[in-house]
Amino acid sequence: MTKKLLCLGCCLALLTTGCLHPKLGPQSLPRDRSLYSVSLADSWKEQTLLNIIKVRYSDPPVFVDIGNIISSYTLAQGASVGGTIIPSGNNQVVLGGSLGFSNSPTITYTPLTGNAYIKGLITPLPAPMVFAGIQNGLPADSTLLSSISSINGLRNQQVSLNGIMPADKNFHRVRELMYKIQISGAVRLYVKDDGKKQTSVIGLRTEDVPPEIQAASKELRALLHLNPDATEFTLVSAPLPSNDTEVAVMTRSISGMIQNLAAQVEVPSEHTWCG
């Protein structure tokens, strides 16, 4: 009888532990990786939104990065058997078992500070990077609105201490046309290398293009004062183009993008004050 109880106790301990095994080791990777990925994404979005609000209230933006995430699991199990043997036959057997499970994640946070951080905030984005994003699927209209301050002299909306200066009317039309041409696949960005330097080129395809896209391309060229017969245009970082085959772009910095987003935030009336 004693042996049977001992075996039963050990089996119960092992079975209980076995229920936790699928949560450990390789089986835990898909679950943990997915949950941490979602949490990181949500955290970055909340932090970005908070900084936009802070800038609206004239507070400096502060970003904190996640350095490392270390998740460690601990599983401990044990079983014990005790008893008293009495010659009269009133034997006593005591079974015991223990099971412990703990998850101890270690997360390190790194505040983004220093000259490199400040430089990254105030340095305008490279124009080829902006158009490479459009080439890779970012919507042209919203990308130009958020990251471009001017294109071939057409100014985007600007934020100053006096409020928001509206964009040129034709700037918004350029955004619409660029998006229309983008979704048709008639525009692309690529790099030309002549052995001395690399040049970013915007190509507007004219063959096998529907009539409405041809009309959009013609209107776009007219608004940007581009050569109506050219199919390749050099992308440059400048306020104005030097000829009719250049697309001159002035980009915003990360700080400038946040400021423009912050300007759209409506402040409650109780938070405003007039001296």
Sequence ranges of the domains in the chain: 2-82+92-112, 124-265
Residue 228: pLDDT above 80? yes
What is the arithmetic mean of pLDDT over 247-252? Answer: 96
**For 86, what's the count of Cα atoms within 13 Å in the CB-facing half-sphere?**
6
Q: How far apart are CA 8 and CA 107, in angstroms?
A: 41
pLDDT digits (tens, 9 = 90+) for 53-76: 998 888 888 899 988 888 877 766
Look at phi and psi of residue 58 and say left if phi exceeds 0, alpha if psi is from -120 to 50, else beta: left
pLDDT digits (tens, 9 = 90+) for 120-133: 888 999 999 999 99
- This prediction's pTM: 0.70
Do residues 117 and 61 make contact, with C-beta atoms less than 8 angstroms apart?
no
CA nearest to 203, candidates 220, 190, 216: 190
pLDDT computed for residue 80 by the predictor: 65
Residue 5: pLDDT above 80? no
What is the arithmetic mean of pLDDT over 3-8? Answer: 52
Q: How far apart are CA 262 and CA 166, in angstroms?
A: 15
